[in-house]
Amino acid sequence: MPALLAATLAATAAAQQAKPIANWANLNQLVTGAEIRVTLANGNTLRGFMQRVTPESLAINATTSQETLSRPDIRRVELKRPGHRGRNTLIGLAIGTGAGLAVGAGADAKSRPGRMFPDSGKVVLSALGALVGTVIGVALPTGGWRDVYRAP
């Protein structure tokens, strides 16, 4: 079984490396308005929205102006990935609530009979778990940048 897993991982890594990141044509796949980050040969970085790409240049709307960058001046182009903060928040909420409910049910099962609030463990710990899970879900990193082009 471990050999099969290793072979699968090796095949996946080889397939990912087969995509040539140094191919300028990769920029043609970007949609107009996509958020990109461009690293120039002089070390400066521009962040903006892609406008058009030609075989010789890349035009972006940067934060202060529209820039047309020549291909030899571009070292790297990265695409902003969409974030999933809302999804992560809901997952954290569900997991936290479920964990709090399970711990609360265990605490309530071990409590003495005749308590004034027999389900207080489930109520309190479910709410506490929901709060903690939601905070963790919000704090998880999302999005990021993906290389589209890297100069050879």
Least Cα distance to 149 among 21, 16, 20, 18 occurs for 21
Q: Tell me the sheet residues that pair with 49.
A: 35, 61
Note the pLDDT tens digit of each residue in 69-114.
999 999 999 998 888 888 888 998 999 999 988 988 888 888 777 7
51 pLDDT more than 90: yes
Amino acid at 70: S
CATH class given for the domain over 2-80:
mainly beta
Whole-structure pTM value: 0.59
Note the pLDDT tens digit of each residue in 3-21.
554 555 455 554 444 456 7
Alpha helices in the chain (DSSP H): 2-18, 85-109, 120-139
- Domain range summary for the chain, segments of one domain joined by +: 2-80, 85-139
